[in-house]
Chain A
């Protein structure tokens, strides 16, 4: 298990030392592929039975394996996408070799910190890892590959808000430790595995206090409204592959922390306390983001608000609870982690092509770039929750869980907001996709032939293949959840102790 933590660190160090830009990108890719290879056995063995190493500090079970698989998958696709993306930025003079070294080193460190979150058994170690993700990703946003005023503004807001927020999560962790000392006598417990066993004996009012602090803290990081203000700025100013990682998985690693806490807090306080809080935060997030999606004129910010909406839906699923609700939430994590990065990748390409992130400046993507347009179209339909795409399936599962429990008000509000989001996303991207392409630079025949030759270069082929694979899995997951994913999620539900 320790090797999958070491590989990203080594890759980061090597990337930082190299001086040739092509070499750096392929070393980074090799690192990501090696990581994927080495993580396979760890993930598969964690599915069947939990493992502990380093005296119980690190631990994997099905849930951490599930999130870990997503981190590694998205790390791989971002490493692939970064090659073409950075080569383009280098060519148009937006970055230099120093920027690229910094970018790739930080990218792999970022993957390392997220992996550390998933394997941490000790709740305080998990806090340290979550805070480390904030620091590394803030540097990535601010200095990614070049220094821009707006990116620094976004990074400043991000690091200040998330650090303040997450300070409260540390207080919550302290209070949990305190509650455990009361049960265990002299030495308290912070390991999730130990806390899980004594969870029913913990003092309910102390745990309620702890959970509120943890929810506010990790909720800030997970982008739950009303503490989401950093998210649209950070996501829209980050380089596209980093936006994909932030949105696709970073939010989920923070939410993973909340899920771990829910399963410790619930046995003593009863499920109504945690459930109601999560439902309220979830509905506020969906509601606020739906309004902002409707009036948004910048497509990267639109995608960022859509992330808030989807985190709200996941929170709602966990809040409604029961096997069906949790199943829907975990499936939604996977679906969102496929659709949103695809959209950020596509928007990076659109931005490179049109030189603007405003919706009104982009027209006729489908006619000028048929492949990219189609992929964007699939992603947009999926994000809006159109049947028969994957996100519809998980939203429907959560809806069903709500109906089963008879939470009619929650279901009604959820449906209303989702309809607003549906209209907002499809009208926004509809304006970009259809119509005739205007505002493009007219290209001479020579430039066009250069462009034609580039289409078949390796980075471009790799990027396009990845995006096509992601789009195909979005469609496939919309029809049926494959058996291995189904059984994995069911094991996760068992791990969380939901009956």
Chain B
């Protein structure tokens, strides 16, 4: 089984899946699909952690995998879907730039990451690609945050960034102590809930879920 994983480079396949779900965000038109893309991304992340746990036989990584699956793979997507329904927004993402341009920029980001991280810090990494992919996912998340108009897409961009960050941390150190992972996940969960509540309040106060309206405070 362990040989299988190595021969078919399963880890690379999964991490490429993580990258693809992030890139797919650029092309998706509906908010529900964005939430689904995030859900797949989190499932792949937790699956990757489980595979590595199996390869190196670390019990606490199984725990990390299960906790990731439950929080990011189930609770947060369900919560986001509920928020999208409650806000009764037009379901369209309405990006500032066209999908083609957006995809191109994401592609350029991935290329830049691969070129600039060709030599750097790889010692404990179990696959050469994971660190590059995680950095690319962080940058794509950031790009989605700045190029979309809806409050919810900003939250999803942030969540993609955090998935990328977890992957990066994981490829560098085989995960943090479990208590720390739990603390970080708890903070994230709280943050998402608060952001969801704020998004609904923005919709009520500004009668729009577009962030264009949030320009009163400046200078």
Contact = CB atoms under 8 A, between A and B. Distances in A.
B183 A153 contact: no
Contacts of A296: 219
A388 interface: no
Contacts, number: 119
Contacts of A181: 124, 173
Main secondary structure of the interface of A (DSSP, over half): helix
Given A142-B198, A159-B195, A177-B176, A152 B219 contact: no
Contacts of B5: none
Interface stretch (B27-35, B85-93, B154-162): B154-162
Contact of A150 (B154, B187, B211, B216): B216
B123 A128 contact: no
Secondary structure type dominating chain B contacts: helix
B190 interface: yes
Contact of B217 (A128, A138, A150, A163): A150
Given A135-B191, A171-B169, A177-B172, A152 B158 contact: no
Given A128-B183, A152-B205, A164 B191 contact: no
B165 A163 contact: no
Interface in A112-139: 122, 124-125, 127-128, 131-132, 134-135, 138-139
A159 B183 contact: no
Interface string B70-101: 00000000000000000000000000000000
A167 interface: yes
A153 B124 contact: no
Contacts of B154: 160
B202 interface: yes
Contacts of A155: 198
A139 B151 CA distance: 17
B6 interface: no
A405 interface: no
Contacts of B176: 124, 174, 177, 190
Nearest to B205: A149
B201 interface: yes
A209 interface: yes
Interface in B175-219: 176-177, 180, 183-184, 186-187, 190-191, 194-195, 198, 201-202, 205-206, 211, 214, 216-217, 219
Contacts of B205: 147-149, 152-153
A139 B162 contact: no
Contact of B214 (A122, A157, A159): A157
Q: Most B CB atoms within 10 A — which of A154, A174, A181, A296? A: A174
Contact of B169 (A148, A160, A170): A170
Contact of B201 (A122, A125, A152, A178): A152
A163 B145 CA distance: 12
A159 B173 contact: no
Interface residues of A, number: 48
Chain B CB within 10 Å, residue with most, of A170, A190, A295: A170
A167 B138 CA distance: 10
Contacts of A430: none
Contact of B123 (A156, A174, A177, A182): A182
A301 B216 CA distance: 13
Contacts of B145: 160, 164
A492 to B, nearest CB: 27
Contacts of A417: none
A182 B151 CA distance: 41
A163 B219 contact: no
B183 A125 contact: yes
B11 interface: no
Interface residues of B, number: 37
B51 interface: no
B124 A124 contact: no
Contacts of B169: 170-171, 174, 177
A154 B190 contact: no
Given A150-B217, A154-B217, A156-B214, A124 B165 contact: no
A128 B180 contact: yes
A174 B168 contact: yes
A153 B216 contact: yes
A382 interface: no
A174 B173 contact: yes
Interface in B121-175: 121, 123-124, 138, 142, 145, 151, 154, 158, 161-162, 165, 168-169, 172-173
Given A132-B187, A135-B190, A156-B202, A163 B173 contact: no
A90 B13 CA distance: 60
B173 A177 contact: yes
Interface in A232-253: 232-233, 236-237
B165 A164 contact: no
Contacts of A178: 121, 123-124, 172-173
A273 interface: no
Contacts of B168: 171, 174
Contacts of A206: 121
A236 B187 CA distance: 26
A164 B142 contact: yes
Interface string A430-451: 0000000000000000000000
Nearest to B145: A164
Contacts of A237: 217
Contacts of B201: 142, 147, 152
Contacts of B214: 153, 156-157
Interface string A171-192: 1001101100110000010100
Interface of A: 122, 124-125, 127-128, 131-132, 134-135, 138-139, 142, 147-150, 152-157, 159-160, 163-164, 167, 170-171, 174-175, 177-178, 181-182, 188, 190, 205-206, 209, 232-233, 236-237, 292, 295-296, 301
Given A156-B198, A182-B123, 10 more contacts: A122-B180, A125-B180, A138-B198, A153-B202, A157-B217, A163-B158, A178-B121, A205-B121, A292-B219, A301-B219
Q: 4 nearest interchain CB pairs? A: A149-B205, A174-B169, A128-B183, A178-B172
14 contacts: A124-B180, A135-B190, A139-B194, A150-B217, A153-B205, A153-B214, A156-B195, A160-B145, A164-B145, A164-B158, A167-B158, A177-B173, A181-B173, A209-B121
